[in-house]
Structure 1
Amino acid sequence: MSKLPILMYHNVCQRESESNKLTISAENLEKQFQYLIDNDFKTLHFAALENLESVPEKSIVLTFDDVTENQLTYVVPLLEKFNLKASFFIPFHFIGKTDLWNNNSEDAEQKIMNIEQLKELPKALIELGYHSYEHKKYRLLTASEIENDFLKCEEFIKNNDLHVYRALAYPYGNYPKERDQKANFKNILVKNKIKFGLKIGNRPNTFPFKDNYEIKRIDIKGKDSLLVFRLKIKFGKLKLF
């Protein structure tokens, strides 16, 4: 079995002084990407993982939640500069609006990309995925509400002619965990042809995944030093940080 760390990012800002838990500065993100290049890491899309039985040594997956405009401003040019691949996860109801679900966030209100911006993203580097329709915690929704959320996602994708791969990043990393509810939730994912479901977990995965609907992501925080970044890739989140 291979080791596969999957990194989770959110917002990107111009200055280090603006960084916080969910927001990394463009300068530090560039240092992290440079480290990946210097150490021969290979970035992968989930669509490629679907047909693999193993991954090359030093494989890694980069994920960015919420498709904020700051990702368009800062992340896309860095991906192009370093020729790195990443997956961007869309909360469909908020396309062209702002991150209204984040009303208690320490970040200022962030604009979400519009349809035209999403369609213009470089497809060779950026894979689009699902981040639910309304960015609500799945654990707090009924089965019918979850089904309806998927229906709204599909309707939006079809009406706007978007190409979205069937990988789903759970909002807040949250999903039903009680035995019966979890089984029902996973049945809904299968019914809706979701290939991969991503929680948090803060540990590197083994590949092939033990459970395609409980894939772990490592939370990269805005204040993480390059040393912490390197340790997270190798070990995940440690009690030291």
Structure 2
Amino acid sequence: MHPLTPIVPPLAMLHCVSDSAGGSLANWYISRKAFLQLLDTLEEAQYQTTHFAELTEQKKSGGFSRKVILTFDDCAKHLLDFAVPELVKRKLKAAFFMPTAYIGGYNAWDVEKGAERMELMNEEDLKELVRLGMEVGSHSHHHVQLKNLSGTEKLRQEVRLSKELLQDITGRPVYSFAYPFGSVPDDYRTVLSSAGYHYGLSIYQPFETKLALRRFGVYEKDTPATLRKKLSGRYRWMRTLYDAVKKN
């Protein structure tokens, strides 16, 4: 495979969709208007959504033209009020990544640093996502910087326990893992593959593999033009250079 051949479709990274964003978490929010703009742009450009469970179970390894994967980190409960119903209404799919120590709780990793409290989905919410055709993936157990745990048993526990808990809750295999903070441990290949994951999602990644994939962020300032650029093959090629600089 050519080093620039896409391993997966473009991956869009989102966290929160709400008109009541503010404070220290504002960078992780987009408004409802911005979210609708994203979905409108995808539909106008004739993109279809998929997710990692579908890629795995249908054994797809190419032909990603006009495909995109929407990913939501942390599983904020408010997504069920607007974002998820909007996806369902348009017959779109997405992948949601849950830090399992906080199921039915709140974003303690942010709050302990002085950020605002945000309620997270509970077990019934995660089951409902699966029922609606969405994917539920792992975001580790405690939402910590995993690179700091490289080579430790604690890292293996973070990765394995979250997978086991989510599979018990949803009754579905968990194929994908999103690294909290985009923090990829040195031994990620061994740890994720031994736990049975097929895909791992980072943010900035100079050398992309199936277990360390790049994502592009969706922000309030985005326009249809910038979104189309981020979806393009040229942008993905540019990221091989940009991410190498960003990571250094």
TM-score by length of 1: 0.83
Distance change >3 Å, CA 104–CA 23, structure 1 → 2: farther
- The one of 41, 53, 56 equivalent to 2:47 is 41
Contact 2:138 2:166 in 1 (8 A): no
Shift of 1:156: 2.5
Contact 2:21 2:29 in 1 (8 A): no
Shift of 1:129: 0.5
RMSD of the TM alignment (CA)?
A: 2.8
Shift of 1:151: 3.9
Contact 1:45 1:85 in 2 (8 A): yes
Structure 1 segment 196-235 matched on structure 2, within 5 A: 196-201=199-204, 211-234=209-232, 235=235
Contact 1:6 1:216 in 2 (8 A): yes
Q: Secondary structure at the match of 2:214?
A: strand
Residue 191 of structure 2 is matched in structure 1 by 188
Deviations along 1:17-65, one digit per CA (max 9) or x if unpaired, are 8993210011110121011112110111112223113124211111000
- The one of 6, 10, 25 equivalent to 2:11 is 6
Shift of 1:69: 0.8
Deviating more after overlay: 48-57 vs 69-78: 48-57
Of the two structures, which has the highest relative contact order with CA contacts closer than 8 Å and spacing of 6 or more?
Answer: 1
Q: What's the % identity of the aligned pairs? A: 26
Shift of 1:166: 1.7
Residue 171 of structure 1 is matched in structure 2 by 180
Shift of 1:225: 2.9
TM-score by length of 2: 0.81
Residue 179 of structure 1 is matched in structure 2 by none
Shift of 1:76: 0.6
Instruction: Answer 1 or 2: which has greater strand percent.
Output: 1
- Unaligned segments of structure 1, at least 5 residues: 177-181, 204-208
Residue 206 of structure 1 is matched in structure 2 by none
Matched, 1:23 2:32: no
* Count of residues paired in the alignment: 228
Distance change >3 Å, CA 161–CA 54, structure 1 → 2: closer
Contact 1:147 1:188 in 2 (8 A): yes
Shift of 1:131: 0.5
Structure 1 segment 124-143 matched on structure 2, within 5 A: 124-141=132-149, 142-143=151-152
- Aligned amino acid, residue 22 of structure 1: W
Looking at structure 1, the residues matched to 20 and 100 of structure 2 have their Cα atoms a distance apart, in angstroms, of 29
Instruction: Answer 1 or 2: which has greater helix percent.
Output: 2
Shift of 1:105: 7.2
Deviations along 1:100-158, one digit per CA (max 9) or x if unpaired, are 11137796311001111111225353111010000001111142111121343245235
Contact 1:79 1:85 in 2 (8 A): yes
- Unaligned segments of structure 2, at least 5 residues: 243-248
